[in-house]
Amino acid sequence: MKKKVVVTDYNFENVNIERNIFEEAGYEFEEYKCKTVKETIEVTKDAYGILNQYAPLSEEVISGLNNCKAIARYAIGVDNIDITKATEKGILVSKVSGYCINEVADHTIALLLNMARKLYILDKNIKNKKWDYKVAKPIFRLQKSTVGIIGFGEIGRNVAQRLKAFNFEKILVYDPFVTREAIDKYGATKMDLNDIITQSDYIVINAPLNKDTYHLINKERFNMMKNNVVIINTGRGPLIDEKSLIEALKENKIGGVALDVTEIEPIQWDNPLLNFENVFITPHCAWYSEDSQKDLQTTAAKNLLLALEGKIHPDIVNPEALLK
């Protein structure tokens, strides 16, 4: 009997790349569109390998995996997977590093420029037959502004590299895991988080989501910000306490926010964020180009295949699982 590889969910047009890789390797291949824990448990219970995008791979789901040897996620992060439980059960978990670094950095800059030049306001007014630049007042020169970057991994570094071209007055960086010397190379300055919060005109968030960064931007920190600050988040939605963000917007404590990620995705259509003119949202698409999507699907499948063969590779996040 063939061993089974299951795709829990995906939002691509198809998973033909993955199907070809696994069927050529002699595996049975099944694809699903799971959204709930219950659905995920049902389709994965006898899986030998799992490809996963957004469906929850919680402790409850992983506890029911009696045949699984490896999980590969279609993402840089693995925040929807209970890594501790997977490791306990000897299941290797892998991510996909580097497939969309340029795309996310480009998207981040696009969001920043859109908010800085208030293109979203000008476009809306033109379409409402109002030809007047004054609807976007005030706009300030980027070269007199300070931008703070939270998270200085590959994406944060690529954002900093692009920002240098705009000659911002200061580029500040918070990342406790990166040295001052490494940050200096990008023409930026290493700072404490609260100093970035208080000094920045633009705050760019590219940090990973974990127990230490959950709601990193909260009510206390909103109260510390400049009242014209613009926040750009292309990291993970829960890095920002959305309830506190809405409160800050209502009270005009911040200038605006551009989000590619939200706490709940897809965003709920009754979310108050959708009612603010100074909120600009894209549907978690910063990762996407035709090139990055192909890389993502191919690499995730190859990562899973290697792990099923017991081969450790750099994208495995819990190599210690092999010792179980």
Q: 173 and 39, same structural domain? A: no
Q: 224 and 144, same structural domain? A: yes
Q: 281, 300, 315: which is the final residue of a domain?
A: 281
Express each pLDDT in 133-147 by its tens digit. 999 999 999 999 999
Q: 152 and 106, same structural domain? A: yes
Pick 220 or 323 by higher pLDDT: 220
Burial class of residue 277, CB neighbours in 10 A (0-12, 13-18, 19+):
exposed
In the predicted model, what is the mean pLDDT of residues 198-212?
A: 96
Q: 94 and 110, same structural domain? A: no
Domain that holds residue 44: 4-99+290-323
* Confidence check: pLDDT of 1 > 90: no
* Confidence check: pLDDT of 23 > 90: yes
Active site residue 157: no
Active site residue 284: yes
CA–CA distances in Å: residue 65 to residues 10, 52, 184 = 20, 14, 46
Q: 111 and 59, same structural domain? A: no
Cβ atoms within 10 Å of 10's Cβ, excluding its own: 21
Q: 108 and 179, same structural domain? A: yes
Angle made by CA atoms 91, 95, 98, in degrees to the nearest 5: 160
Express each pLDDT in 27-36 by its tens digit. 999 999 999 9
Label the pairing between strands 170-174 and 279-281.
unpaired
Which residue out of 23, 42, 265, 309 is catalytically annotated?
265
Express each pLDDT in 242-264 by its tens digit. 999 999 999 999 999 999 999 99
CATH of the domain at 187: 3.40.50.720
Which residue out of 221, 236, 242, 263 is catalytically annotated?
236
Task: Give how many domains the chain has, as a whole number.
Answer: 2
Active site residue 23: no
Q: 146 and 32, same structural domain? A: no
Residues 241/249, Cβ–Cβ less than 8 Å: no
In the predicted model, what is the mean pLDDT of residues 104-126?
A: 98
Q: 265 and 170, same structural domain? A: yes
